[in-house]
């Protein structure tokens, strides 16, 4: 597909462990890249991917589709317009129950070798991105990663929590 002349952009929406190879192949063929998050399974892979797209001179970005959710876009607009005043703290929670059933199939996103960071990279990355509001840069200040089913071999049926501190005093929890 990356060799086709009628395709200008590759949208990488595959299991995380396959992102690097696809991005590097697309960049080599001069295709622009839109990659689902988490970008890679390891930081080293992400750095290799960045080097490949920069070397090829193609446009590239990581997808954070939640920023287009109407409620989040509205909150961002209110923050940008100053309608909420100075934001000191926010709390974000992602509630879903399909991961708590230890008899549910261990899909690719729950297998560490295919997904990488598990719930933290898959879900908390949205909260971290949302926390990137005007007023400073995020600075991690604490966190916890746990496994709901420690007996699940190689699984990432996890729960995570973290705290962000921001220059200027704002912070968040996810």
Task: Say how far apart CA 130 and CA 75 lie, in whole Å.
Answer: 10
What is the tens place of the pLDDT at every residue in 80-112? 888 988 777 777 776 666 666 677 777 776 676
What is the tens place of the pLDDT at every residue in 14-65? 988 899 999 999 999 999 999 988 888 888 999 999 999 999 999 999 987 7
60-63, strands of its sheet edge to edge: 9-12, 32-36, 60-63
Cα Rg for the chain, rounded, in angstroms?
18
pTM equals 0.69
DSSP state of 169: S
Task: Say how far apart CA 114 and CA 118 lie, in whole Å.
Answer: 9
Domains of the chain are 9-63 (3.40.50.720), 71-173 (3.30.360.10)
């Amino acid at each position: 597909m990356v060799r086709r002349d009628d395709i200008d952009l590759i949208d990488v929406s595959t299991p995380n462990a396959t992102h690097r190879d696809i991005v590097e192949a697309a960049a080599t063929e001069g295709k622009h890249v839109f990659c689902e998050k988490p970008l890679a399974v390891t930081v080293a892979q992400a750095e290799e991917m960045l080097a490949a797209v920069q070397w090829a001179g193609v446009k590239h970005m990581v997808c954070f589709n939640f920023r287009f959710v109407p409620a989040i876009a509205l909150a961002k607009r209110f923050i940008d317009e100053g309608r909420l005043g100075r934001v000191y703290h926010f709390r974000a929670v992602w509630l879903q129950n399909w991961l708590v059933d230890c008899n549910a199939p261990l899909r690719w996103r729950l297998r560490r070798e295919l997904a990488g960071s598990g719930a933290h990279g898959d879900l908390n990355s949205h909260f971290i991105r949302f926390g990137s509001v005007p007023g400073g840069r995020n600075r991690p200040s604490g966190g916890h990663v746990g496994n709901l089913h420690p007996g699940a071999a190689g699984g990432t049926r996890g729960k995570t929590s973290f705290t962000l501190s921001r220059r200027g005093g704002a912070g968040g929890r996810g």
